[in-house]
C-alpha cells in the first residue's frame, strides 16, 4: 500500500552520476512501488541537484531491511567520528 507520504530535505553534498560528480541540494524519501527493484514496494531515495529540476542525480530503491541497515550504519559512523571531524565549514 502506498502512503504517498514523502520526506523532502535540503542537503549539502555531492552525488556521482556515471563519471560526473554534481552538487545535490535536495533528497526525497518515500515508500512506493519501485521502478527496477524486484519487489512490490521499496524505500526510495531520490537525490536532486536542484529541487525545481525533475532530473535525478541518483536514486536508490531499497528493501526495508537494507534501508534500516543503511540508516543504522550512517548513525553509527556519525556517532563514532572523532570530535571535530564532522564540523561543517
Residues 10-43 have pLDDT tens digits of 999 998 888 888 889 999 999 988 888 988 889 9
Residue 85 in domain: no
Q: Rounded distance, CA 61 to CA 38, Å? A: 10
- Does the predicted model carry a pTM greater than 0.95? no
Residue 89 in domain: no
State the DSSP code for 75.
Answer: H
Q: Which three cell numbers stand for residue 31?
A: 515508500
Residue 33 in domain: yes
Residue 1 in domain: no
DSSP E strands in 1-89: the ranges are 6-17, 20-32, 42-48, 56-62
Residue 75 in domain: yes
Residue 46 in domain: yes
Amino acid at each position: 500500500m502506498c502512503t504517498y507520504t514523502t520526506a523532502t530535505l535540503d542537503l549539502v553534498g555531492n552525488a556521482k552520476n556515471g563519471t560526473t560528480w554534481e552538487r545535490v541540494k535536495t533528497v526525497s524519501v518515500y515508500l512506493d512501488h519501485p521502478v527496477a527493484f524486484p519487489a512490490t514496494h521499496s524505500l526510495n531515495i531520490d537525490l536532486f541537484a536542484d529541487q525545481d529540476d525533475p532530473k535525478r542525480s541518483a536514486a536508490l530503491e531499497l528493501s526495508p531491511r537494507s534501508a534500516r541497515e543503511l540508516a543504522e550504519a550512517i548513525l553509527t559512523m556519525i556517532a563514532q567520528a572523532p570530535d571535530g571531524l564532522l564540523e561543517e565549514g
